[in-house]
Amino acid sequence: MRQRVVRVAVAAVLIALVLLALPLVVGIRYAYFADERGELERDALAAAVRVSPQFTAGDPVELPRPAEGTHVGVYDAALRLKAGSGPPTADVTARRAAADATVSEHTGGQIVVSVPVTSNEQVIGVVRVATDAQIVWNRVLLAWLALLGVVAFALGVAVLVARRQAALLSAPLEDLSAACVATASGDLSVRAAGSDIAEIDQVARTQNAMVAELARLLQQGRHFAANASHQLRTPLTGLQLGLETALATPGADLRAASEEALAQCAHLRHTIDEVLRLAKADQGLTDTVTRSASDVMDRVEARWHGAFADEERRLAVTLQPGTEDLPVPERTAAQILDVLLDNARIHGTGRVDVTVRETGGALAIDVADEGTVPMSSTALFERGATTGDGTGIGLSLARDLAEAAGGRLTLASSRPTVFTLLLPQPD
């Protein structure tokens, strides 16, 4: 691109210089020859003044000293050379001047000016002044060379300016191209630098906005896959174990096992719906399914009671008076509580208490165990942060779910561990 910009700029300047120089070339030639004719005419008039009225009677003429290369001659009425230098007999220019008119011609390699000499309104002679045209041509050629030097200097300056401007124009485009190549290679962290050129800067901003949106969509897709994997792993494991136990136990109630499996499948479907809802949270999708706090807590206790019992740990769910009938977004609360209870089972110790209470127009659900949290509350909710062998996704996902529902999830206490979920209540 730089070479193209330079070529276009130089071509434009060259055309402008040619269009400007051609009239100057013609003007210089015309001016030098016109100036020389004017000089010769002044010399001729100066010589004519020295011709006295007695010239016809043979009075000699004292001519001024001519410039080098200039020939001055005085001819009588018979057009014969009487003084100075020139052809012995008058040439065509002098003959025409004898008709009482000043004549200037470029002929025979010379510039000739002839003026008549009059006395008592009669032409008594002719003064002829001539110079070699090559002398004038030499001066014209020197002027043309000077003009050519100026044109070459201007063209050189134009090349330098064009190269600098080409660098200024192409540098941001090269940076933008490098950013596009990096993006195409999979690096979505690269951003195009701004530019002082408004049009290129607009392209860079558009490119950056596009890459940022692509990065957001890709990150959203990765988060969705990770969230779905995290949330589905535990219920799928429970479903598999329940079915395997029913098949391996002689005389087991298969109908009860099937009903439990169907309930687990329904919970899995709700889990998928909730993860999808979170992925589309920027579209304003909210959990519109609400149940009473007592119903939601009963379902949570039913799902997790067995898991804690298998580890010989107690799960206690308590609803403070007046909270039983308060509305709770079922799917959102269920997913968040599943994450908190799974964390309590894996990372916590001892008894687990789930307490539902009302505070300041909001519903608070506390999940507490007898363990400790060795991380700060800020780092704990960062995606990928974990205190053990986990993926570090659960608490980050739970916090996002709570915020998508207009609520808030916080670490109320690190020793013993207490997480508090705040859910807004309708006015």
Of 137, 120, 128, 150, nearest in space to 30 by CA: 137
Cα–Cα distance between 401 and 227 in angstroms, integer? 11
Query: Is domain 288-424 in CATH 3.30.565.10, yes or no?
Result: yes
Residue, of 95 and 426, whose pLDDT is higher: 95
Burial zone of 4 (CB within 10 Å; 0-12 exposed, 13-18 middle, 19+ buried): exposed
- Fold assignment, 2-149: Beta-Lactamase (3.30.450)
Residue, of 95 and 396, whose pLDDT is higher: 95
- What is the pTM (predicted TM-score) of this model? 0.48
Confidence at residue 347, expressed as pLDDT on a 0 to 100 scale = 84
When mean pLDDT is compared across 17-21, 55-59, 199-203, 296-300, the lowest value belongs to 55-59
DSSP, collapsed to helix, strand or coil, labels residue 375 as coil
Asked whether the predicted pLDDT for residue 277 surpasses 80, the reply is no
What backbone torsions phi and psi does residue 253 show, to the nearest 5 degrees?
A: -80, 95
DSSP, collapsed to helix, strand or coil, labels residue 390 as coil
359: which strand partners? Answer: 362
Hey, which of 28-32, 93-97, 205-209, 307-311 has the most confident mean pLDDT? 28-32
Asked whether the predicted pLDDT for residue 410 surpasses 70, the reply is yes
Confidence at residue 8, expressed as pLDDT on a 0 to 100 scale = 81
Position 427 confidence tier, pLDDT thresholds 50, 70, 90: low
Hey, which of 144-153, 386-395, 404-413 has the most confident mean pLDDT? 144-153
- What does the domain layout of the chain look like in residue ranges? 2-149, 288-424
Residue by residue, DSSP assigns 100-143 as: T--EEEEETTEEEEEEEEEETTEEEEEEEEEEEHHHHHHHHHHH
Confidence at residue 232, expressed as pLDDT on a 0 to 100 scale = 60
**pLDDT tens-digit profile of 348-387?**
899 999 999 988 778 999 999 988 887 777 778 786 556 5
Average pLDDT, stretch 268-285? 59
Confidence at residue 285, expressed as pLDDT on a 0 to 100 scale = 43
CB 144 within 8 A of CB 136: no
Of 101, 119, 11, 148, nearest in space to 55 by CA: 119
Cα–Cα distance between 367 and 398 in angstroms, integer? 13
The mean predicted confidence, pLDDT, of the chain is: 82
CB 348 within 8 A of CB 370: yes
CB 46 within 8 A of CB 64: yes
> Where do the DSSP E strands lie in 33-86?
70-76, 81-84
CB count in 10 Å sphere of residue 27: 11
Residues of the chain by 3-state class (helix, strand, coil), percent to 5: 55, 20, 25
When mean pLDDT is compared across 76-90, 95-109, 191-205, 345-359, the lowest value belongs to 191-205
**pLDDT tens-digit profile of 282-335?**
544 455 678 899 998 998 888 888 888 888 899 999 999 988 888 988 888 888
Asked whether the predicted pLDDT for residue 425 surpasses 60, the reply is yes
Confidence at residue 179, expressed as pLDDT on a 0 to 100 scale = 84
CB count in 10 Å sphere of residue 213: 10
Asked whether the predicted pLDDT for residue 197 surpasses 60, the reply is yes
Average pLDDT, stretch 249-276? 68
Confidence at residue 128, expressed as pLDDT on a 0 to 100 scale = 92
For 97, residues 6+ apart whose C-beta sits below 8 A from its C-beta are 103, 114, 115, 116, 126, 128
**pLDDT tens-digit profile of 108-148?**
889 999 999 888 878 888 999 999 999 999 999 999 999 99
CB count in 10 Å sphere of residue 175: 16
